[in-house]
Structure formats: structure tokens, C-alpha cells
Amino acid sequence: MPLNTTLIIQATVNGILIGSIYALVAVGLTIIFGVMNIVNFAHGSLMMVAMYLSYWLFVSLRVDPYLSMMMTIPFLFLSGVLIQRFLIDHVLEAKHHIQILLTVGLALFLDNFALFLFSPDFRAITVSYQTSSLALGPVMIDCPKMIAFFLACALTFCLHTILKKTTMGKAIRATSSEKEGAILVGIDTRRIYYLTFGIGSACVGAAGAAVLPFFYCSPNVGYAFVIPAFVVVVLGGMGNFWGTLVGGLIIGVAEHLGAIFVPGSLKQMVMFIIFILVLFLKPRGIFSK
Amino acid sequence: MEKLRKNKRIGRRTFLKVSGLGATGFALGGGLPFRSLAGPKEILIGDIHPTSGGLAEFGKSCRDGTELAVEDINEAGGIKSLGGARLKLLAADSEGKPEVGMKAAERLIQQGVVAIIGAFQSSVTFATTQIGEKYKIPTVIDFGIAENILERGFKYCFRLMPSTDMASEQWANFTMDMAKSKNVDVKTVVIIHENTLYGTSFAKKAKGYIEKAGMEVIAVIPYPYNTADLSSEVSKIKALRPDIIAPISYTPDAILLTKALASQKVYAKGYIGLSSAGHGNLAYVTSLGKLAEYNMTQTAFGNRKAARYSSFEAGFKKRFGVEPNVAPACYNYSAALLLADAMERVGSAEPTAVRDALVKSSFRDHLLPGETISFDEIGQNKSVISPFIQVFQGRQYVVWPKKFAQKKVVFPMPSWDEILK
């Protein structure tokens, strides 16, 4: 088995490309956790919703998946706000296991509703630039994946700017670090929660549309991305924005390098070994103080 | 005042009354001998397939095949040697999991099925046939290619699809024959396979037959079937430059694999699925659009040249509104017809009698490529073939062996640039 450097570089590049998607999904998850202390198990199912939306837009109206983000992002944002308003809001003060049950229940509902509406058939699309790739020396960079990468980075950067610079962003960060203090200074934490869940869902709204060209759509598809995202969130530190971003890239690269060196499912094991090591050695994330 | 009979002998009338009552009671209560004399009006057949979960789309096609067959059999008069008894299908969802399949088998048997058709997956079939054997209910296996299914000395299992040995040997021989007929030299093969029982057992067997046929297997690459990305595995293949790439995949991974091969411009003289369920699936073809053109795979497939095929296809379109997914639908349709034939021949719906009739099967009126359906000592269908099919303009056609071919084979595979033109 020729383990030449081309192979390793190619794997690293592929890992970074897919890692940006893991990071985007994980950022949504970590924001929700950071602000509201809720682990959103329905995150993957919401991504699935975004994928189906993008799929149907492509199939019926020929809307390019990357353009369809202009619809999936607001749609998922709104859905997130509504979910927070009508579901999560009621259990914010409840015990963790109640919150978990609620989001798991939501996930099951969405998955099975999709199963009912769209049947279990796999749906995949092929865009005209599907197989165009950029060649950087011996390494080939897939066009759709590259577009997804840039969009994911851009969105993450936007999100970071919003959180850092805007008043709303500061309010979100305030609520996240010190809830009572935030209430005392007059921040409407209720509204912040709606926004946060909305933003978190909007992240998978973007990620779902972004991966459609190189992945397939089915009622259970969310789990393929959300499980690595959970690992990324732990790796980066729950609620730690930059940590999650870097964590996503690390997990993507680890998975792909793993695929070169170890056979079959063991490549996923690489990711989970990292997960366990982090939990043991630096449970607050590798970037924690 | 009447004198009561003191002697203890039972009089004739009393005897007749009592036995008459007893017999009626016994018959009503479900005594078997009385049942079979009358003949059952409705015969229950069980069907276990993964109609939910990742393989649901195959599961549904399988189910559609059995349903259509049962309806057609009933419409043609049912089982005539049993007084026109009608078949009734009791369907169960295995969810793609062996434990669920096993529970479903138990439940169906409790409900009184005389035979079971299923279960598409090797892992689930292995489990459900154990239950069938325990209760002496015959199973007609549509797909479920793993060796060990028929190697347990069971008497109640019958498999329609070719065994791993048969299919691997056919793949190796067909590839060599096809290459020879086109004067193309094929020396090296890379097998890339999903890593459940299906892909793993097949890869192991196939390697031996491929080498026996004169080619060299330079690498065997396993991957998890529900992976999100196969680009690294494909990079490995690219570095190896084999003559033939032989994937063994389910549908979603087959789609990912082909997209990755195309985008990394990995060229091989042949990209030929090794009895690959995913590559043979119609959904694979439709979701890839142009990318699927000229793709070849060996797969359990239906025989479009069979006498019954056109009426089957017409009936399927009418009943379900879509074209049949050929392999799962034809196999399960044929499975049900086979069962009906067995019951017809033996004039009974009693499971052991049906099983004995299946052993002696010599069934011609089916939709599979191959000769008559007949089984060897371990329950394997002896003459069935998994042909090579190729995609032309979004439709799958048998291209090899020539006897069952509908179109002329295109080999070696054109380059990706040509395919995408």
C-alpha cells in the first residue's frame, strides 16, 4: 500500500474541507449549549429538514443548493425560534433529563415525519459542477466541497462578528456567561433564547444545503454529521466558539487520515479515541484554561 | 318409575351421541386432522423485509414484489389443488436489525404463517431462518448472500440468489470472458467493500475466485457503509491504479463512491460492482444522472427476457405507479410463485409438506436469469445467475452473459470526461 505523501496531503485537504462542515454544525450546537445549557439532540434532524428543503428546491425549481441557502437559513432560523418559544421554553428550568427527553422526542418526531412524508428512499442530486475539481499539484480539491468550505468559513466568521460586535451579540454572550447578571442589566433573556436557538438552527440550515451536492438525503441523515459534531463540541469546549471551529477541522482531518491508515470502520474509532482522551485529560475542551 | 340401567356398558345410542358431540367439539376446537380435510380457505404467508431504516427502499421493493405476486396468484384462482385457497400476505418490518427480524418471525409464526419470504439482509436472514427452523416453517430467502446461512445443516431454508461462491465465480469468469471478447487485458483488481457481513464475506470469497481466474487482487479496502465520505478510500484506489475496481456496496455508499471516483478522475478499464446491491439499485442510477452512464455491476437481477416479464412489469406499474426496481421485485415475485407452485404440487399448506415440495422444486415460470429453480442438498438454487448489467441512458440492461443480454456491452469503461460530455 503506497503511503506516499500525496495520499496524506490529499487526506488532510479532504479532512479540512469536511471539517469546516462539522465545525459549522458544531458551532450551532455549542451556541445553544453555551447560552441555554441545553443539549439539542434534535440538531441532526433539523439539518435533515434543511437538506430536504434544499433538495426539493433543486428538484422542482432547479435552485442551486448553495443559492438555496438563502431560503434554508431563514427557514431554519424561524423554526428554531418557534421550537424555542413553544417547546424548549417550558423546560428551561427543568432537570437535564427532562430537557434531553424533549429534544430527543423532537428528533424522533422530525425523523419519522420525514419518513412518512418522503419515504425512506435516498435522494441525491448531481449538480453540473459536481465533478469539477481544482488541481493543486497532485492534490485534487472537489469543487462542491470547496464551495461548502468557503461558505462554512464565511458564515462562521459572520457569526463570530455578530457575537463580538453587535449589541445583540454582546447580549447573547452576556446571557451565556452570567444569566442573572444579564437579567439585572435589563437584557430580555427570553428573547435572547429565541435568537440563540434560531441562530443555532440556522447553522444547520446552512450546513444542510451545503452538503447536499456531495451527500445524500434521507430521514436519518442528520446523525452522520451530528455525531461528529458532538465530538467536536466536547473537543472544543462546550460554549467555546473558536475551540469548536478548530475542533471541527481536527476531527475532519483525523477521520480522513484515519481512513488512510486504518481499515473500515476503524476510521471512526480514531475520532472517538480522541473524544475519550479529551474527556479524560481535558474535559473542558482542549482550549480550556 | 323407570328402572335405571345398572350395568356399566355404554349403549350404542349414547356412544354415538357422545362421540358425535366429541368429534364436533374437537373439530371446532381446532383438531388438526379435521382442519386439513376441509382445506383452508386462506393460507398465510409471512414476509420479513427492512421497510424502515437505511435499507428501507430495497425493503419496499421486495415487499411490492411479494404483494403483487400474491395478488396475481389469487386472481389466477389461488391454489387450485386446495380448492382455490387464497394466499394472504402477513408483512413485517425487520427495520434492518436481526433482533427485530427474529421477533417478527416469531410473531408471524404464532399468527399461523405456513412459510416466510425474506429477509434481504444476510445478518437478518441468518437470524430469522433460525426461528423458522425451530418451528419447522420453511423460509424462501430472496437475498442474503452470506455463506453461513446455508451451512448450518438446516432443512427449512431455501435461497434463490446465487451463493457467494457461485456469484464470485461468475464475476471472475464473466470479467475474463468479457475482456477476452473485447481484446482487453485485465490483470489487477482492487476490491472496495462495505464492512458488514455482506461485504466482508463476499470480498473474502471473491478474492479466491478472482485469483483462480488469473487476475491479481492488489488491495481489499473496507469502509463503514454509513460513512459520510469516501474520498480518502478513493485516493487510495487512485494511487493503486488497478485495471478493475470492484465495489461491494449498499446504495448511499455506492453513490458516494461513484461521485468520489468521478471527481478525483479515477480511471479504470472496468468499474464493475461485485454483486453490489447498491450499484444494482435503480435509485443509484436515478440520483447520479449522467454519472451513472456505462456503470457496470454484477447483480442479482431479473430476467427481462423471461416469458412472464412483460405482464409482471405491466402489472407492477399499474399497481404501484412506478417501474419495478428489477432485482428485489423479481426475486420476491418469483419467491411467492415458487411457494404457490410447491403448495399446488403437494396439495397441502402444511409447512413440512410445503418444505418437502420445495426440496423437489423444478420451477420454470419465474423471473430470474438462469434455468429452472431447483435446490441442492443445502437449499441453494442451483442454476441461477447474477449477470452483469450496464446503465444506458438511465436504464439498466443485462449485458453479460450474452444469452440473457439485452444490449451490447461497452467495455472498457469510457473516461469520466467522456461520460460527462
Q: What is the CATH number of the domain that holds A233?
A: 1.10.3470
Q: What is residue B158's DSSP assignment?
A: E
Q: What percent of chain B has pLDDT over 90?
A: 56
Q: Which residues of B touch A (CB under 8 A)?
A: 51-54, 56-57, 59-60, 195, 219, 221-224, 226-229, 231-233, 235-236, 239-240, 251-252, 255-256, 259, 262-265, 283, 287-291, 416, 420
- A 10 A CB-CB count for B289 gives 16
- Tell me if B287 and A131 make a contact (CB, 8 A cut-off): no
pLDDT grade for B40, boundaries at 50, 70 and 90:
low
Cα four-point dihedral sign A124, A127, A131, A135: negative
How is residue B367 written as a grid cell? 423471473
Q: Half-sphere exposure of residue B371, counting CA atoms within 13 Å on the CB side? A: 6
- Residue A287, domain member (yes or no): no
Size of interface A-B (CB pairs under 8 A): 124
Domains and CATH numbers, chain B: 38-162+304-359 (3.40.50.2300), 165-299+387-419 (3.40.50.2300)
Residues B378, B150: contact at Cβ < 8 Å?
Answer: yes
Q: What is the pLDDT of residues B90-103, one digit of tens each?
A: 999 999 899 999 99
Phi, psi of B194 (to 5 degrees): -75, 155
For the residues A272-277, what does the mean pLDDT come to?
Answer: 87
**Residue A87 domain boundaries:** 5-281
pLDDT at B4 over 80: no
Q: What confidence category does residue B35 fall into, taking pLDDT thresholds of 50, 70 and 90?
A: very low
CB atoms within 10 A of CB A175: 25
pLDDT at B216: 94
pLDDT above 90 as % of chain A: 31
At B231, is the pLDDT very low, low, confident or very high (cuts 50, 70, 90)? confident
What is the average pLDDT across B114-142? 93
Complex ipTM value: 0.71
B409 grid coordinates:
456491452
Q: Which range in A6-15, B157-166, B195-204 is most confidently predicted, on average pLDDT?
A: B157-166
Q: CA B368, B372, B376: angle at the middle one, nearest 5?
A: 105
Using pLDDT thresholds of 50, 70 and 90, give the confidence band for residue B36.
Answer: very low
- Mean pLDDT to the nearest integer, A264-284: 82
Would you say residue B305 has pLDDT above 80? yes
Cell 426539493 maps to which residue? A56
**What is the reported pLDDT for A122?**
76
Nearest to B384, CA basis, from B399, B362, B397, B368 = B368
pLDDT higher than threshold 70 for residue A157: yes
Quote the minimal CA–CA distance from A262 to chain B in Å.
10
Place of cell 428551561: A92
pLDDT tens string B346-362: 998 899 999 999 999 99
Percent of the residues in chain B that have a pLDDT greater than 70, as a whole number: 90
For the residues B273-287, what does the mean pLDDT come to?
A: 86
Average of per-residue pLDDT across A159-183: 86
pLDDT band for position B19 (cuts 50, 70, 90): low
Residue A286 lies in a domain: no
Is 80 exceeded by the pLDDT of residue B380?
A: yes
**Tell me, what's the pLDDT at B127?**
94
Q: What is the pLDDT of residue A241?
A: 80
* Burial grade of B135 (CB within 10 A; 0-12, 13-18, 19 or more): middle
Does this model's pTM top 0.90? no
pLDDT of residue A201: 95
Place B32 in a pLDDT band, splitting at 50, 70 and 90: very low
B156 vs B24, residue with greater confidence: B156
Which pLDDT band holds residue A2 (cuts at 50, 70, 90)?
low
Kindly state whether residue A243 falls inside one of the protein's structural domains.
yes
State residue B2's pLDDT score: 46
Residue A199 lies in a domain: yes
CB distance A130–B262 less than 8 Å? Answer: yes
C-alpha grid cell, residue B186: 485485465
Q: Does B147 have pLDDT greater than 80?
A: no
Nearest to A51 by CA among A202, A211, A198: A211
Task: Examine residue A190 and state whether it is found in any structural domain, yes or no.
Answer: yes
Question: Do the domain assignments include residue A74?
Answer: yes
Interface test with A, best of B64, B229, B266, B281 (most A CBs within 10 A): B229
In this structure, is residue A104 part of a structural domain? yes
User: For residues B405 and B259, what is the distance between their CA atoms, to the nearest angstrom?
Assistant: 27
Average the pLDDT over each of A99-113, A255-269, B48-62 and give the range with the smallest value. A255-269
Please report the pLDDT score of residue A224 as a whole number.
82
Provide DSSP, B222-249.
EE-TT-S--HHHHHHHHHH--SEEEEE-
- How confident is the model over B312-342, as pLDDT tens digits? 999 999 999 988 888 899 999 999 999 999 9
pLDDT for B25 equals 55
CA distance B137 to chain A (A): 30
Asked if the peptide bond before residue B119 counts as cis, ω within 30 degrees of 0, the response is yes
Q: Is residue A150 part of a domain?
A: yes
Category of B154 on φ-ψ map: left (φ > 0), alpha (ψ -120 to 50) or beta: beta
Q: Is the pLDDT of residue A74 over 70?
A: yes
Quote the pLDDT of residue B207.
93
Q: What mean pLDDT comes out for the span A169-175?
A: 86
The number of folded domains in chain A is 1
Cell of B291: 454519472
